[in-house]
Amino acid sequence: MADFMFLLLAVFTVGCALAMVCLRNSVNAAMCLLLCLAGVAGLMVQLDAFLLAFLLILIYAGAVMALFLFIIMLLDLRVGAPISRKNIGLVSGFFSGALLIAGVASLIVHDRVALPAQSLPAPVGASLKGYADSLFTVYMLPIQVIGFLLLISMLGVIVLSQRTPHSE
């Protein structure tokens, strides 16, 4: 049953990611990204990483996606001259195909993942207390920098989206 759920969530996640890349409407692509994040959270639940799944849904699917949709709607992009995506698609398709072939070849060659004989110590973020301690001590500066960059990007979009009255 767990294998079936993994395959179902993996196909759902990859399908939503492909739809996100292929859709031309920005709002629909953002909604596909939201579904992709939900699929990744489901995969994390299967790995018993409940805290990471909860944080992914709470932070990325909640706050960041709301910010993305706010910025997309604030920009109010009009359909103008079509942008040529031919070369970008070929290059990204080549790299994606090469990565896929390398991953499949790695799975075929190694057949399975070798686990060490001794048991591993619990990771730092395994408990909520350890995760909070490392979050508010070691990773405090990077989290503040990321929040500041998100604030700057949102302010930049607001400034760029303001329309100036045409002087006639």
Q: Which amino acid is at 125?
A: G
- The set of residues, in sequence order, having a beta carbon less than 8 Å from that of 20 and lying 6+ positions away, is 29, 30, 32, 33, 36
Distance CA 44, CA 6 (A): 10
- In the chain, the amino acid numbered 93 is G
What span, in angstroms and rounded, lies between the C-alpha atoms of 75 and 162?
A: 9
The proportion of the chain whose per-residue pLDDT surpasses 70, expressed as a percent, equals 78
- Residue 48: helix, strand or coil by DSSP? coil
DSSP 63: I
| CB burial readout 69-95, b (16+ within 10 A) else e | eebbeeeeeeeeeeeeeeeeeeeeeee
Q: Note the pLDDT tens digit of each residue in 41-70.
A: 999 988 888 888 888 888 888 887 777 777
Top mean-pLDDT range of 19-23, 66-70, 86-90: 19-23
Of 97 and 85, more confident: 97
pTM to 2 decimal places: 0.53
Cβ 56 vs Cβ 40: under 8 Å: yes
Quick one: fold of 1-78? Four Helix Bundle (Hemerythrin (Met), subunit A) (1.20.120)
Model confidence over 103-150: pLDDT tens digits? 788 777 776 655 555 665 666 556 777 777 877 888 888 888 888 887
Phi/psi at 50 (nearest 5 deg)? -65, -40
Residue-level pLDDT at 76: 64
